[in-house]
Structure 1
Amino acid sequence: MTEQWGISELVFTNPTTVEFSQGTQRLTIWSFWDGDGREIVRFMPPTQGVWSWVADNNNEFGELIVGPPSPGNHGPVRVHNTFHFAYADGTPYRQMGTTCYVWNHQSAALQAQTLETLANAPFNKIRFCVFPKHYIYNENEPELYPFEKLGEAKWDFTRFNPAFFAKLEEQIVALGKLGIEADVILLHPYDDGRWGFDCMPAEADDRYLKYVTTRLAAFRNVWFSLANEYDFMKEKTEADWDRFIGIVKKNDPYDHLTSIHNGTVLWNHTDPRLSHASIQNGSAVEDAGRAVLYRDVYRKPIVFDEVIYEGDIERRWGRLTGEEMVNRFWEGAVAGTYVGHGETFLHHDDVLWWSKGGVLHGKSPARLAFLRDVLQHAPELEPIDKWHNQRTGGQPGQFYLVYLSSAAPSEWTFALPKPGLEEGVTFTAEVLDTWNRTITPVAGTFMTKKLDNYTFVDATDRKIPLPGLPWQAIRLRRVAA
């Protein structure tokens, strides 16, 4: 028996496709070569009950009984309510990602340390590359390669290395056990002529994308990112990337979340084949008013996967303070978008979290854990009066987060935008210190009265006292009638 959203494997001796069916549901799945004359078909059953299967090459057939998911198995993450995410079983998913580009290419000891760090960190998604990376602080040779080697920096692009992909799958499974989504970056430009994986011929690109998608699609915690900084791969055209997206979607029968990440040129994320927009732009989350613009343009979840990194390296993209990293997460949150973390503190062995993993040194992760807890106990945040009140997100008339960023007022006048409100609605209030991670209830309740055509205030004009420190937020919850 296989659990719902688990993995069932069938083994054949020749390439084949298998059709799985249950009632009106039909899923056709390609096999992939796994060495030693083995062709594997992997099936992730989306529903419980009996599934029938038929192979196309030799008329083999059978049935599979699918039982309920095990505890912690909520299925793959899907788009929810246009701008947000939820697991397939409806459990809310509040994306809080990090980046460790090539942690999976490091020593076994360093990989284990990375997983141990993640087990105690707030992150529920990690971005990392299939191919190794040659870049500043990234010069060590990987243990395994995705292709069979012909000679020095020469590869047989027609022959995949099953051991490499088996190891990649182990890492995806290990992340899944921690409740972490694997945002797998399929291509990237940081090769610099060392291996040539960034400039393979078109037929090799296509063959690779079909293989890796077919092989990984049955893992419920996989997301597919076509590239990191796609526009820096100068040998690829926009037509190439359009073709690549089509290959991934054709060979992913489960329609996993799929994106493409930019350097300086944004992709057209209105493409319906892309589930969400993966954006590199730190300035967009310096204030919520800029972040929300991406929602209006793309009409899908917005994930600012790269907002530069907390660290102390000499590069301008790796010197963010912990305070500013946390601030960008909060600005993104009240805008109804999602933000990603990265860390680049110098280490004598060049083990920077952003690339190789290891341990976290920054000040932001503990504060992001506080934010994650706030978001997990909140409804999906929406901008409520986006053109005039960027500080306030929530659900109109029910729940509000008012984020004051670097301002340090000594009080806040209770004032909320009009949508969803009427006179006589009662709220409780709490002051959240987003840096010191404290929650201070405010005594009493607040009852709304109309101030003008756009604003409701407290009926007694009450104000909420604040500590005169930056990074404060106010949480308001409607009191049930």
Structure 2
Amino acid sequence: MRRLFLLALACGYALCAPMSAARAQGGPQVDRYGLAAANGPVERWGSAEIALTGPSGGNPFLEVDLSATFRQGARTLRVAGFYDGDGQYRVRFMPPEAGEWEYETHSNRAELDGRKGRLTAVAPSAGNHGPVRVKGTHHFAYEDGTPFWQVGTTSYAWIHQTEELQRQTLQTLAGAPFNKLRMAVFPNHDDKNEPPRFPFAGRPPKAWDLARFNPAFFRNLEQRVSQLRALGIEADLILFHPYDKGYWGFDRLPADVNERYLRYVVARLGAYRNVWWSMANEFDFLKEKTMPEWDRYFEIVQASDPYQHLRSIHNAFVLYNHTKPWVTHVSVQSGAIAEDFERAVLFRDVYNKPVVYDEVKYEGDFSRRWGQLTPQAMVLRFWMGAIAGTYVGHSESYEDPRGMMWLAKGGGLKGQSPPRLAFFRKILAESPAEGLEPIDKWQNHPFAGKHAQYYLGYFGLGTPASWPFVLFKTGLADGMRFRAEVIDTWNMAVTPVDGVFEIVKRDNYTYADKNGRAIALPGRPYMALRIVRVP
């Protein structure tokens, strides 16, 4: 799929519409925004659009209501529509099941009301596994059950750059290991270049008509989300952030404008299966907003989204109460918690939800302490997070005389961690589908996996010359047999260990190799072990 995407990118999005994998194989045709017409076939978990012409006078953003009800047998979904400017109205639908769907529009304007039709949802193409959901308690999977091993990155303002730079970012992502990208909807004033477009009608810096959105801004956002979808990358959309610092005023909009903005964003983007909603980045730096307001905004997104995409919020110093029912997973910033697995596991126990350490500092040489991780320290945090049964996010912040920092603007990657994270993701993909669970989290036991079946251990900065073959007791019995591999996580090598280890009970807590054997290790940091039961 990523190869098809690069071919489409090479032809130029301004000149030719990108091909989805399905279209390249003769499936449903989609436009440059990844949308299929409602009168043609659409993939299950694809995006169909009903386009209607209606009133353009007055202010349609405020004065015209539009929605549609989609029905398949006894199942119904009510989907909000939106005004796209120039008298054009749209309703977008992501079919949750294959088969025939009937729809009928509802509006306070006669020309938009009572429009009926049907569409056919066909089987998803290769690479389309549906939206990501919470799996069990602490992990993720696509809706078709395929495990989703989160290996994310962050580039806040990449969609607010030039067309050339946005394309470069997409080309970089096509060859990178990341399957989730955190990105801001509003522009970032830390970026001193003026963005090419803004979310509201009007003129910068503050002459905005807050009652009218700028459709061109959102079309660019949609195109980029669609292109990420073609790459198999989840778009973790940051709905608010504090980096405007009052310059444009998008960080301190009136509550009624914020609520209208949230409903508009959900209406436009909810039909893309790869969307996650991040309510804010460093929400506690938005001093004008109270905790009850954040609760209200969560409730609006939850109520407006018929597909119930994943929802969370990201902190600076104050933690949001992630136990609230509208929070699907924990998104946390912490510079130190993922330095070792015994700390990283703690938020799992507190919140009983999947935990993503989206910000654990960044690889780079930036002047601020949060941007000075070595590549080795970046990779170490991913492995420590995995052993804790959690997930970790990447970004990089290398100084550049042109201001081309991946964290801020995208473009290209300079660091050494991405190839190692690709190797890490491969190791994860070979793990049990249920997800990695800590084996014995209370006793400095650096293993996660599935009891009596699969063990993945990581020694981090430790430099052992050997490891005695000793496993925690749960699920074990005398005579069980295991094979082992030594994994060099930095040099990206897997070396099988000769022979089979047969275990016997050693004490109240452990089983050991019956012959007292140990596994030789090279005495350097960043080593791991993989142990798998054999018949």
Shorter-chain-normalised TM-score: which range? over 0.9
Task: Give the alignment partner of residue 103 of structure 2, picking from 49, 53, 59.
Answer: 53
Superposed, 1:150-169 pairs within 5 Å as 150=203, 152-169=205-222
Shift of 1:336: 0.5
1:377, 1:151 → 2: CA distance?
A: 50
Shift of 1:81: 1.5
Task: Give the alignment partner of residue 421 of structure 1, picking from 473, 476, 489.
Answer: 476
CA contact (8 A) 2:47 2:272 kept: yes
CA contact (8 A) 2:204 2:248 kept: no
Give the RMSD, CA atoms, in angstroms.
1.0
1:141, 1:150 → 2: CA distance?
A: 12
Shift of 1:375: 0.2
- In the alignment, which residue of structure 1 is the partner of 2:365? 312
| Superimposed CA distance per residue, residues 294-319 of structure 1 (whole angstroms, 9 cap, x where no aligned partner) | 11111111000000001001100000
CA contact (8 A) 1:311 1:318 kept: yes
CA contact (8 A) 2:106 2:114 kept: yes
2:106, 2:171 → 1: CA distance?
A: 44
Task: Give the alignment partner of residue 211 of structure 1, picking from 251, 264, 272.
Answer: 264
Is the partner of 2:309 in helix, strand or coil? coil
Task: Give the alignment partner of residue 178 of structure 2, picking from 123, 132, 135.
Answer: 123
- In the alignment, which residue of structure 2 is the partner of 1:8? 48
| Superimposed CA distance per residue, residues 249-303 of structure 1 (whole angstroms, 9 cap, x where no aligned partner) | 1111000011100011111111121110000012110111111111111111100
1:106, 1:254 → 2: CA distance?
A: 30
CA contact (8 A) 1:335 1:390 kept: no
Superposed, 1:2-401 pairs within 5 Å as 2-12=42-52, 13=54, 15-57=65-107, 58-135=113-190, 138-150=191-203, 152-379=205-432, 380-401=435-456
Shift of 1:389: 3.6
**CA pair 221-45 structure 1, distance change in 2 beyond 3 A:** same
Shift of 1:150: 4.8
- In the alignment, which residue of structure 1 is the partner of 2:457? 402
Moved more, 414-423 or 221-230: 414-423
**CA pair 38-447 structure 1, distance change in 2 beyond 3 A:** same
Moved more, 16-25 or 168-177: 16-25
| Superimposed CA distance per residue, residues 10-29 of structure 1 (whole angstroms, 9 cap, x where no aligned partner) | 12325322111112211101
Is the partner of 2:358 in helix, strand or coil? strand
| Superimposed CA distance per residue, residues 78-98 of structure 1 (whole angstroms, 9 cap, x where no aligned partner) | 111211111111111100000
**CA pair 464-69 structure 1, distance change in 2 beyond 3 A:** same
1:24, 1:327 → 2: CA distance?
A: 50
2:233, 2:47 → 1: CA distance?
A: 17
Shift of 1:152: 4.2
Shift of 1:475: 0.3
1:82, 1:305 → 2: CA distance?
A: 18
CA contact (8 A) 2:160 2:196 kept: yes
Q: Which amino acid aligns with 1:395?
A: K
| Superimposed CA distance per residue, residues 199-251 of structure 1 (whole angstroms, 9 cap, x where no aligned partner) | 00111111111111111100011111000000000000001100100111111
Q: Which amino acid aligns with 1:79?
A: V
CA contact (8 A) 1:413 1:464 kept: yes
- In the alignment, which residue of structure 1 is the partner of 2:528? 473
CA contact (8 A) 1:225 1:259 kept: yes
Shift of 1:8: 1.1
| Superimposed CA distance per residue, residues 393-418 of structure 1 (whole angstroms, 9 cap, x where no aligned partner) | 00000000111110111111011111
CA contact (8 A) 1:15 1:33 kept: no
Is the partner of 2:279 in helix, strand or coil? strand
| Superimposed CA distance per residue, residues 119-163 of structure 1 (whole angstroms, 9 cap, x where no aligned partner) | 11110000010001022xx21110000000156422111100000
Is the partner of 1:31 in helix, strand or coil? strand
**CA pair 307-151 structure 1, distance change in 2 beyond 3 A:** closer
Q: Which amino acid aligns with 1:62?
A: G
Q: Which amino acid aligns with 1:113?
A: Q
Is the partner of 1:92 in helix, strand or coil? coil
1:56, 1:161 → 2: CA distance?
A: 24
Is the partner of 1:279 in helix, strand or coil? strand
Is the partner of 1:227 in helix, strand or coil? coil
Identity %: 54
2:170, 2:114 → 1: CA distance?
A: 43
Q: Which amino acid aligns with 1:299?
A: N
Q: Which amino acid aligns with 1:458?
A: D
- The alignment status of 1:440 with 2:489, answered yes or no, reads no
Normalising by structure 2, we get a TM-score of 0.88
2:374, 2:164 → 1: CA distance?
A: 29
Q: Which amino acid aligns with 2:349?
A: D
CA contact (8 A) 2:335 2:370 kept: no
CA contact (8 A) 1:288 1:390 kept: no
Shift of 1:390: 4.0
2:203, 2:388 → 1: CA distance?
A: 51
Number of matched residues? 478
Is the partner of 1:176 in helix, strand or coil? helix
CA contact (8 A) 1:15 1:39 kept: no
| Superimposed CA distance per residue, residues 327-350 of structure 1 (whole angstroms, 9 cap, x where no aligned partner) | 110000011000000100011101
Is the partner of 1:213 in helix, strand or coil? helix
Q: Which amino acid aligns with 1:16?
A: L
Shift of 1:59: 2.1
CA contact (8 A) 2:396 2:406 kept: yes
2:199, 2:247 → 1: CA distance?
A: 14
1:196, 1:152 → 2: CA distance?
A: 8
Unaligned regions of 5+ residues in structure 2, if any?
1-40, 55-63, 108-112
Q: Which amino acid aligns with 2:90?
A: I
Is the partner of 2:183 in helix, strand or coil? strand
Moved more, 179-188 or 61-70: 61-70
Shift of 1:439: 0.6
CA contact (8 A) 2:200 2:213 kept: yes
Is the partner of 1:385 in helix, strand or coil? coil
2:476, 2:407 → 1: CA distance?
A: 44
| Superimposed CA distance per residue, residues 46-93 of structure 1 (whole angstroms, 9 cap, x where no aligned partner) | 001111112223322222111111111111111112111111111111
